[in-house]
Chain A
Amino acid sequence: MTLRKIDNYRYVVPKSFRDGMTVEGLIYADEDLIRAIEKDQTLGQVANVATLPGLVGRSLAMPDAHQGYGFAIGGVAAVDAETGVVSAGGVGFDINCGVRLLATELDIEAVKGRIEQTVNELFRNIPCGTGTHGLVRLSFEELDTVLAQGARWAVESGYGSARDLDFIEEGGAMPGADPSAVSDRAKQRGKDQLGTLGSGNHFVEVQYVREIFDEEAARVFGLKPGQVTVLIHTGSRGLGHQVCTDSLDIMQSAMKKYGIQVVDRQLACVPIRSPEGKHYLGAMAAAANFAFANRQMITHWVRDVFRRVHGLDEVRIVYDVAHNIAKMEEHRIGGVMKRVLVHRKGATRAFPRHRPEIPKEYIEIGQPVLIPGSMGTSSYVLVGTERAMEETFGSSCHGAGRAKSRHAAKKDLTAEELVRAMGEKGIHVRGASKSGLTEEHPGAYKDVSAVVEVVHRAGIARKVAQLIPVGVIKG
């Protein structure tokens, strides 16, 4: 038994797909994207997740889904808060990897001549690349404060203003963070990495708004055509990676105690209410806070560059979203409100208007959903919808989704060719390493516009604006 097409944007993975599935899988894709998804192990991974204890609703995959570890990237799964399990692999190694959108009052036409300088200054100002130390070295004691307070620590340390916190998911500090649940090893990895971009697909991009699709939402988010914006994409660095490593290790052994068997070891999980489950969720929230503080510090350095290069006093945060996270939320399931733990692994929360979790400035329109594209293509701002609440636990896609291995991508072109090709499109690129650039070239990814179109037409988020890059720095 294989996939069942429901409509042009929805495919069901029936329970007969694999033994042990307690719920169906549901994949959002059009015909082209589903063909891409069928090529790797994504379907099997969606089915595997559907075997986890306590799963409610369906095991979901967004149109940018591709094969991951345990969970597919682009996967969403909710479990009963009382009887369900938490899976460290369901969040992933880069805990609270996420994106933050900043908006300036500059118009692209007025500043075109200064973009190259802006990119060079950003590259100088923001530590990036493999094995880079940050500009801040923290004691374990200070680090514990970061883990407890997240972006609030950064603001109180002079990186930004209290107003910024209103425009970050969770106000920049996840509740329930437990710094004592984070191992010394994770802290050793993290203490010199706060305020660093990292490598891989992480970036800071200078962009402008090319098109507005939803006038009302764009007005509320403060976006208009031609406006210069900045998108920051990074996460919790080595600290988060180690928290996940430690937790997977603990869960491997603890599963036996709880009589849990999984079809893939990377899906290792423990009951939410078990000591190990609480330990993981406390450590995960602490790592998420590290990431919020990280993006806040990078925001500060971006503002510093715009002040020096453009004489700009204000660079506003539009929003900051996590796309690797597990969160306790209230959702209506079978007509009854229920508390569930929603795992989003490479998926973005997409709450509609009137949800109490979203900034009061956006309460009448819904939360901004930020979708970064691959280097040199475009990014999108969407807004959460009621339909997402009904179907996807208020979740949507998170990006373009990788289509080619890094190795294959590297063979496509040299770093020099890439920089030249980007230059011809009017995009200034600075990268810490040549291989880091070529592995991330746009051809290595699916078409972000196609991914966003599926999400929009399926109704699990609505398009608001398209952003076009003019400069990018990469690790």
Chain B
Amino acid sequence: METTAEAGYRILEHPADIGIEAWGTTLSEAFRQAVNGLMAVITDPEKVHPSEEREVHLTADDPGHLLVRLLSEALFHFDAGKFLTSRLSIREMSGTTIAGSLLGEILDPSRHVLKLDVKAVTYHQLSVVDEGSMVRVRVFFDI
């Protein structure tokens, strides 16, 4: 889960806020990196094995809405079922639909350290920008 100029994420912070900026050469890659970023806020993603999956089928009004729905999906599986996502596998994707699965495993307190309790994904300063050679997304979480 290396962050490079082509694909990656970074964590953004200011008072009472935590968010991520993620990027990739395609919308799919930027969304995959955004999932990695969310999980990096919650735990150490390196320690999560992709041994189980949770199906994802989402439609939305626009790419930003889709991103919030996708991250909310990963967050739901964690809070309700203790499922930590290692990575997102995408089968099909457009700007308003996504089909794929979240690969990961159930929290094992002996191996996984929880960092922050993310309550929800917000629409605050939400952005999905296609810069031509790069797609960059930004999203903030309520903690």
Contacts and interface: CB of A to CB of B under 8 A. Distances in A.
Interface of A: 40, 66-70, 73, 89, 92-94, 130-131, 185, 188-189, 198-200, 238, 241-242, 244-245, 248-249, 252-253, 264-266, 268, 402-408, 433, 435, 475
Given A69-B142, A402-B16, 15 more contacts: A40-B15, A69-B122, A69-B140, A70-B123, A92-B142, A130-B116, A131-B114, A185-B80, A189-B76, A264-B124, A265-B64, A265-B126, A405-B15, A405-B16, A406-B18
Given A69-B124, A131-B114, A252-B65, A405 B14 contact: yes
A268 B120 contact: no
Given A185-B80, A249-B69, A130 B114 contact: yes
Given A252-B61, A407-B18, A242 B76 contact: yes
The 10 closest A-B pairs by CB, nearest first: A265-B123, A188-B80, A69-B124, A199-B117, A407-B13, A130-B117, A241-B119, A266-B123, A130-B114, A93-B120
A36 to B, nearest CB: 10
Q: How large is the interface on B (under 10, 10 to 19, 20 to 34, 35 or more residues)?
A: 20 to 34
B107 to A, nearest CB: 7
Interface in B1-19: 11, 13-18
A11 B114 CA distance: 42
A406 B13 contact: yes
B47 interface: no
B13 A405 contact: yes
B124 A70 contact: yes
A281 B36 CA distance: 34
A452 B97 CA distance: 49
B15 A67 contact: yes
B81 to A, nearest CB: 8
B115 interface: yes
Nearest to B143: A200
B128 interface: no
Contact of B120 (A185, A244, A252, A403): A244
A248 B119 contact: no
B79 interface: yes
Contact of A266 (B13, B69, B122): B122
Given A131-B82, A242-B76, A264-B123, A66 B16 contact: yes
Contacts of A264: 123-124
Contacts of A69: 122-124, 140, 142
Contacts of B82: 131
A70 B107 CA distance: 32
Given A69-B140, A265-B126, A241 B120 contact: yes
A411 to B, nearest CB: 11
A199 B118 CA distance: 10
A402 B142 CA distance: 14
A268 B13 contact: no
A67 B61 contact: no
Contacts of B15: 40, 66-67, 402-405
Contacts of A244: 120
Contacts of B140: 69
Contact of B13 (A68, A252, A408): A408
A117 B57 CA distance: 51
Q: Which of A69, A73, A264 has the most CB of B within 10 A?
A: A69
Contacts of A404: 15
A93 B79 CA distance: 14
A330 B123 CA distance: 32
Q: Which of B15, B122, B126 has the most CB of A within 10 A?
A: B15
Contacts of B101: none
